[in-house]
Chain A
Amino acid sequence: MIRVELWQLLRRPRTWITIAALNALPAVVAVLLALTDLGPRPGTGPPFLSAVLTDGTLFPLAALGLVLPLFLPVAVAVVGGDAVAGESQGGTLRYLLVRPVPRARLLVAKLVSVVAFVVLATLAVAVVGYVLGLLLLGDAPVTGTVSVSGSTLTPEQMYVRTAMTFVYVVLCMLGVAAIALFFSTLTESSVGAALGTIGLLIASTVLLGLDAAEPLEPYLMTRHWLAFVDLFRDPIRWGDVVDGTLTQLAYLVVFAGAAWANFATKDVAR
């Protein structure tokens, strides 16, 4: 079932259209920066965007920073929300279940396929970002890349930290994926499931900006998303990255569990 799900993911045009759309924003930003040379002042704007004008190799990180707060989670919510509800809508869920595909295996396959989509989409943004940076914004300074703390990072350090960033961004999306999957087992409408997930994301972002919600802050899903910037301090500041990872794993466990609790005995009436 997992193999079939992955194959279906790759074969579906929607997957590739979503990934293309995801790369549109970083591409536009890269072109604008290259044409105007007007970056945000250091310390303002999206992470790394002020640095890419002098160092194009940082653009994958800037691209991830651009899509992480909104576009990537929306894409994950859409794909995750469709996972079970889409089968239900198309009338294929009941045929999979009587095939028979055990419900646990079906749900695991769906989760794996959503995670595969997250990896694929994140990788695409990073690779396209790298190519764009190289083509439009130019090479790293010969002196090496300057870290957020001002010191210089060797190319090896940069590779390792970029890889860590990639892993962290994927981790950040696991919570979203699990929530979308949970909503997807609740409803027969994939749009409804996606919108429910996006609603939670927006609520989380709004609460982050509210002083009165401070006690909730450590538990909010979006709280630590941009902490990957800390990976480029010298030395690396782990606190928020570790907290963020733990938060995402907690969301994953809770919502994947809830999805199973609901789906295991759900009446499939469509």
Chain B
Amino acid sequence: MSEEPLVRTQALTKLYRGGVRAVDDVALEVRRGDVYGFLGANGSGKTTTIRMLLGLVRPTSGEVHLLGQPVPRAVDRVLTRVGALVEGPGGYAHLSGRANLQVLDAAGGGSLRRAARRRRTDEVLEHVGLDPGDRRPVRTYSLGMRQRLGLAAALFRRPELLVLDEPTNGLDPQGITEIRELLLALNREGTTVLLSSHLLAEVEQMSTRVGVLADGRLVLQDDLAELHAPTGRVRLRTPDPDRAVALLAGRVEHRDGDVLLVRSPDAAALNAELVGAGIPVAELGPERRSLEQVVLAATGAAREAS
């Protein structure tokens, strides 16, 4: 039997006043070791879902299990092993970044002793690229710095699971790369990461598993490797498309000028067949869909069905 997933929801639904279904029948599954990319347009229900995972918002119906424990019932026990960044960073504006981390650590159970807390604060600030010596109040921080501080707070207690809502919001490209490297390094060391984003490219670069939310419904959830797997079609470019179509009669699914999409499980065999018939081949390879195509297809299909 496989291990219980770190995040599992069943039929998770949130109705807001006025009957808006912000989240509708969602079954998420994040397994240990995943970098789970949670995709969806703004307003698709990502943040509400994440808030329900963390016990901030009560589901209208359905279940949430976090690290195998029911939420919100056991939320205060289980959150000690989770680090979270929820819809933008928050901090006490009159305190420095350091002081914010220390207050937050002291506020909860199982907080560190003073010296250890100071060490961990230095460490974690350095980790996210903030200067541990900076005593300026958070009020003077840029959005990018606040975002880093929020990440530092999430990392502080070395959680097993990181839940990050739009972690790269407000960061410049350099910062985005840094944070991505940081999260991937943590993942290699065993941290499971659930990150939401509306940026496909970001998720495609980092994730091992993807879930797509559209209008509150989970329209797709699969391993990225599966989504990128060959589609069973081969993309062929040839200077002599007419002869190729004649040879492959019935197997050509689509023709666009000199590019043909051919139904074939084996690109090498197809190549041999074409060359054997004396048809020149300019380019040939198994068709793989980009994440964007997959997501658009899934979102579109869901829209039509509803």
Contact = CB atoms under 8 A, between A and B. Distances in A.
A267 B51 CA distance: 9
Which of B79, B91, B92: most chain A CB closer than 10 A? B92
A268 B57 CA distance: 6
Contact of A95 (B93, B94, B104): B104
A97 B56 contact: yes
B76 A269 contact: no
Contact of B79 (A90, A92, A98, A269): A98
Interface string A74-97: 000000000000000011111111
Contact of B58 (A8, A13, A95, A267): A267
Nearest to A93: B90
A1 interface: yes
A91 B150 CA distance: 11
Nearest to B106: A4
A94 B91 contact: no
Nearest to B91: A92
Contacts of B282: none
Given A13-B94, A91-B91, A100-B75, A4 B107 contact: yes
Contacts of B88: 91
B84 interface: yes
A163 interface: no
A149 to B, nearest CB: 50
Contacts of A90: 90-93
B236 interface: no
Contacts of B201: none
Contacts of B94: 12-13
B107 A1 contact: yes
A269 B87 CA distance: 10
A96 B104 contact: yes
Given A90-B90, A97-B55, A102 B107 contact: no
Contacts of B92: 8, 90, 92
A265 interface: yes
A41 interface: no
Given A3-B106, A100-B75, A100-B80, A95 B90 contact: yes
Nearest to A14: B94
Which of B55, B58, B108: most chain A CB closer than 10 A? B108
Contacts of B55: 97-98, 100
Contacts of B54: 94, 97-98
B90 A91 contact: yes
Interface in A98-118: 98-102
B6 interface: no
Contact of B90 (A92, A101, A102): A92
A98 B86 CA distance: 9
B103 interface: yes
Interface in B179-213: none
A8 B86 CA distance: 23
Contact of A268 (B51, B91, B93, B153): B51
B295 interface: no
Interface string B95-127: 000000001101111000000000000000000
A220 to B, nearest CB: 34
Nearest to A13: B94
A100 B106 contact: no
Contacts of A3: 106
A99 B91 contact: no
A99 B108 contact: yes
Given A91-B91, A95-B90, A100 B108 contact: yes
B103 to A, nearest CB: 6
A97 B79 CA distance: 9
Given A267-B56, A267-B57, A267-B58, A99 B104 contact: yes
15 contacts: A1-B107, A3-B106, A93-B90, A97-B54, A97-B55, A98-B54, A98-B55, A98-B79, A98-B84, A100-B76, A102-B76, A267-B51, A267-B56, A267-B58, A269-B51
